[in-house]
Amino acid sequence: MIKTESVDSMEPMLPPDGSRKLENLAFDLATKASGLASQVQPTVRESVGNLVRSMNCYYSNLIEGHDTHPRDIDRALAHADYSSDPRRRSLQKEAVAHIEVQQMIDSGEDLRIEPTSAEYIAWLHNEFCKRLPEEMLWIENPDTRESIQIKGGILRDGWVQVGKHIPPNAEDLPRFLNRFAEAYNSNKLSRQSQIIAVGAAHHRLLWIHPFFDGNGRVTRLMSHASLQRCGVGSSLWSVARGLARNVHDYKALLMSADSQRRSDFDGRGTLSTKTLTEFCEFFLSICIDQVDYMASLLEPNDFLRRMRLHIEDEIAVGSLPKGSFHLLREAWLTGEVQRGRAPEITSYGERMARSVVSSLIKKGYLKSQTPRSPLFLAFPLDAVERWFPRLYPQNKV
């Protein structure tokens, strides 16, 4: 008979109150995230969000050991153009699944309930899994070599081990998830505590390991939603990029936070308070680093300078017509451009101005909802490295 495990084995759920370092980090993140949001015109923010979702998916895949090329992701998203190679095609579909679920979060089309609730976590897992190809819904039990089918939103019904950590028994998962939801209920936490709690919840959900597979992906999506709900997250930045770029520290600190209480000076829970606090500090520091990074990229004068230099190079080699930068700059500054203003902005006659617009649309720099609707800025992959340096690893774009 399997012994029932006490939910106390997951305590503490939060770092202790009064940690000056964590409080300062939470304050800095809230302040800087607010500043970032004010930098970008709302319509442009939507276009940047599309780019960041694709980037977020790339880095989330990378953490899972799936190195999907950004161009493969772009082809799948823009043209439903999937590789003939089975593995690359599966990775493309996995990427699209992640992006579509995050899009639902960013647009408010997700469940409007607590992201740390069992229902929301199951929803994330189901939405992700139902978009995956069949071959990615099977894993092999490393002990028995048995094939296990992954069912979207359904808690695992068997024993697992993750490294040295043995998560709770399957029979105990509902109780652990109930305690998880109770501990991180935003109605019971101040805004500052909510921000700090995102890191703690990130670790504790991975510790529970509620599904046979997909836990890392679900946890990062839950963290993304939680950051948005407490007012610091947005579609303009991604914690996944920072975690992937510091993946060794990320995994080491996750493992460290699994450890048992070390002494009488290490809190009163079963697990170590010190290592949970260290993970939360790391997590918030990564968030701040990524907000700072995107704020530096989106600083208006610097962004327009990089755009101008790139477009001038494209004009010099004949890839774009003269007048292109003026239209793109206007779209950046105002959010959208009425097509009838193209002659005024480019200082060309109507026919030539239409040719400039057509060229920019064809190459993906401008988009519109219909052939007559206003133009808005887009970010083709060919421009990403020049406009958003270091967004992806070197030689990846």
Binding residues: 162-165, 213-220
| 209 annotated active-site | yes
Name which of 99, 342, 94, 110 is nearest 225 in CA terms. Answer: 110
DSSP of 179-239: HHHHHT-GGGS-HHHHHHHHHHHHHHHHHH--SSS-HHHHHHHHHHHHHHHTTS--TT--H
* Spatial distance between the Cα atoms of 297 and 7, rounded to a whole number of angstroms: 44
Instruction: Return phi, psi of residue 142, to 5°.
Output: -65, -20
* Spatial distance between the Cα atoms of 178 and 223, rounded to a whole number of angstroms: 18
Q: Supply the Cα-derived Rg of the chain in whole angstroms.
A: 23
Catalytic residue among 209, 224, 310, 326: 209
Residue listed under structure tokens 């809190």? 267
Question: How far is residue 312 from each of residues 79, 299, 389, 395, measured CA to CA in Å?
Answer: 28, 20, 17, 22
Residue listed under structure tokens 């190079």? 313
**Do 290 and 296 contact (CB within 8 A), yes or no?**
no
* Alpha-helix runs per DSSP H in the chain: 20-39, 42-63, 70-79, 86-106, 118-129, 173-183, 191-208, 215-229, 239-245, 247-256, 273-297, 300-316, 324-334, 342-346, 350-362, 381-387
Lookup: tokens for 161 = 């081990």
Look up residue 69 and give its DSSP letter. Answer: -
Binding site for ATP: residue ranges?
Answer: 162-165, 213-220
**Furthest-apart CA atoms within the chain: distance in Å:** 83
Name which of 58, 155, 177, 49 is nearest 108 in CA terms. Answer: 49
Catalytic residues: 209
